Amino acid sequence: MLWSWILKNIPKKLSNWDISPSAVLAFSTWGADKEDYFSFGFKGVVNEESKGLVASNRDRLNEWLESAFNKENFLGLQWLDQVHGVECFEIKKDNFGATLVGDAMWTNETGLGLAVLSADCVPIVLAREDSGSIGICHAGWKGLVQDVPGILAGEMTSCPSELSAWIGPSISQANYEIGPDVWKILEQIAPETLKESPDSDQKRLADLSLLSEILLRRAGVRNIFQSRLCTYDNAEAFSYRRAAKNNSQESLDARMATVVMRL
């Protein structure tokens, strides 16, 4: 069974939505506490060694998924050159594998995986269970204030209420402190996502997962599921802020992958 194979072989946090695993597979890779910090990292630009490890990890993820499918039916994984923006692409067989600069994409193709990278930012997956498109986006605060989740939903369908969404692992509000240059922008969009910081009256704590959900609901998406997993608090996850606090240069460049694929 594909599902039991995935459970056994891929270090991950699976989506907790109500879409059947026989229809759509969605997960975030996990495992930053391995002896080799890049064991399941998918970005690294510190040195040539880390670049090689990341390339190997991407190949390995492809091989895992290929092994779980009939080889002829697995097209591979599409990645993005992410820039904290809102550019959204439809992925088809004729542009699959192209270098695309943006933070959102969707497809109607079966057996084509979509992958985004994150390490505190919010990975968001959208899908219809019965048929049709799947989509994914990478949403940091810059992308959220430009409504990247809503843009993705609107690109995928004229009826977003047909979609289900999974908001993946990201930094929790308790660990995401921001200054007035950011919270004053968020305050205009969704003030309920902010609360005062116990450390400074000039700081606020922001809830990016809640903001993601609010934007999805404003776009018309009704079925929304939260992973409730904090990348900062979980040692197995990659967290940019935790790495910065610990002055770990290698960790600063490490990223998890969130993948969605229609089976």
- Percentage of the chain beyond pLDDT 70 is 83
Closest CA to 40 of 258, 256, 203: 256
pTM of this structure: 0.91
Question: What CATH number is associated with residue 61?
Answer: 3.60.140.10
Domain assignment of residue 65, given as a range: 2-172+222-262
| pLDDT value of position 8 | 55
Q: Is residue 200 part of a domain?
A: no
Report pLDDT for 36: 44
User: 21 lies in a domain?
Assistant: yes
**Is 190 inside any structural domain?**
no
pLDDT mean across residues, the chain = 86
E strand spans, the chain: 12-14, 24-29, 76-78, 88-90, 104-107, 112-118, 122-127, 134-139, 164-167, 177-178, 194-196, 204-206, 223-226, 256-262
197 in a domain, yes or no? no
Q: Residue 161 domain-assigned?
A: yes
In a domain, residue 192? The reply is no
Q: What does 183-195 look like in DSSP terms, one character per residue?
A: HHHHHHH-GGGEE
pLDDT score of 9 more than 70: no
In eight-state DSSP terms, residue 152 is H
In a domain, 186, yes or no: no
Q: Which residue has the higher pLDDT, 235 or 78?
A: 78
Instruction: Kindly state whether residue 121 falls inside one of the protein's structural domains.
Output: yes
pLDDT reported for residue 16: 76
Higher-confidence residue of 34 and 195: namely 195
